[in-house]
Amino acid sequence: MLEVGGGAGAIQLELLKAGAAHATNVELSPEYEPFASELLREAGLEARVERRLGDFVAAAEEIGTADNVVLHRVVCCYPDPEALVGAAAQHARRRLVLSFPPDRAVFRAGSAVFNAFLALTRTEFRTFVHPAATILGAARSHGLEPALETRTRIWRIVGFERARQEEGGAGALEPVV
């Protein structure tokens, strides 16, 4: 599995415990590394995880594909959703799961207020509320189709699957296991 913006790696740890063979985490912020190292050491999973620091979009060509790609609470932290989701979709051999805030006035207003606070504190980080059509379209343009969707109060979570070409050319979604 590949997790983009996985922070300290809690999701990948759970997936490794559930049977994933290997995980790669591409994280922009170096502040998570001490916590990630400690979590991996405690779980005894250091040998099954590759952690990379950097911008996933900029380094995409250097990163291998994975059966499953996860972007949890990351799309709203990146200014270009088409580039981010598109690169993630290109890396997903089977599935892509992502979460993002709904494009509603209340979330756009909250993001604007939070960004104003960040600007006042001279913090470079910004949040974004991107149009859902842009996010979903970026995944679809790379051969992925929505297979599940759920919402929480704050997050819209969409799981995509890659269409599989059967013999004879008919496309079918690969079953989720």
pLDDT-derived band at 164, boundaries 50, 70, 90 = low
Instruction: Name the pTM for this structure.
Output: 0.89
In this structure, whether the domain defined by 2-101+128-162 belongs to CATH 3.40.50.150 is answered with yes
The ranges assigned to domains in the chain are 2-101+128-162
pLDDT of 135-159, one tens digit each? 999 999 999 999 999 999 999 999 9
Residue type, 115: N
Which H or E run includes 67? strand 66-71
pLDDT at 163 (0 to 100): 79
Residue 162 CB coordination number (10 Å): 21
| Distance of alpha carbon 156 from alpha carbon 98, whole angstroms | 8
